[in-house]
Amino acid sequence: MSEGARALRIQLLIGFMCVALLVYFVLLGRAALVFITSGRPAAIGLGAAILVLPIIGIWVMVATLKAGLAHQRLARMAREDGMDLDVSELPRMPSGRIQRDAADALFGTVRDELEADPENWRRWYRLARAYDYAGDRTRAREAMKKAVQLEAS
């Protein structure tokens, strides 16, 4: 499957999931309104509590989509600048993941690049990708957040 077809499938899946979530939030909101309009104090309290869930869900969905779009934009720009990490030659485990020693060595190289140029968003982007390849998703998210902030400023 070509990369373009794969990207389209992923975008369609994301779109479907967003529409499904929105339908769920509408149904949840309607159920909350039924409780609230019942006039019974306990039902009103439960309805108000349920009404908070779609609000939080929509906020999370929008924030996740915004972050994903920002990450995709950085990935495209890094690729165009020739700054994307090339991991095609790194040894892999049978599962397809990069071997830990190779990922750690890649991380060390990228970390050294960042220390030499800490205000460059491309270096933070590369660090985020290296953290991801090394399996540290928490630090990868933080480094990507920093890359997005630096690129925006």
pLDDT in tens, 140-150: 999 999 999 99
Predicted TM-score (pTM) of the model is 0.74
Q: What is the band of 134 on the pLDDT scale with cuts at 50, 70, 90?
A: confident
Helices then strands, each counted (H, E), the chain: 5, 0
pLDDT in tens, 46-56: 999 999 988 89
Q: Give CA–CA dist 150/63, Å, rounded.
A: 18
CB proximity list for 32: less than 8 A, separation 6 or greater? 47, 48, 50, 51, 53, 54
Q: Give CA–CA dist 128/100, Å, rounded.
A: 16
Q: What is the band of 96 on the pLDDT scale with cuts at 50, 70, 90?
A: confident
Q: What is the band of 97 on the pLDDT scale with cuts at 50, 70, 90?
A: confident
Of all residues in the chain, the percent with pLDDT exceeding 90 is: 58
Q: What is the band of 17 on the pLDDT scale with cuts at 50, 70, 90?
A: very high
* Backbone phi, psi, residue 52, to 5°: -70, -35
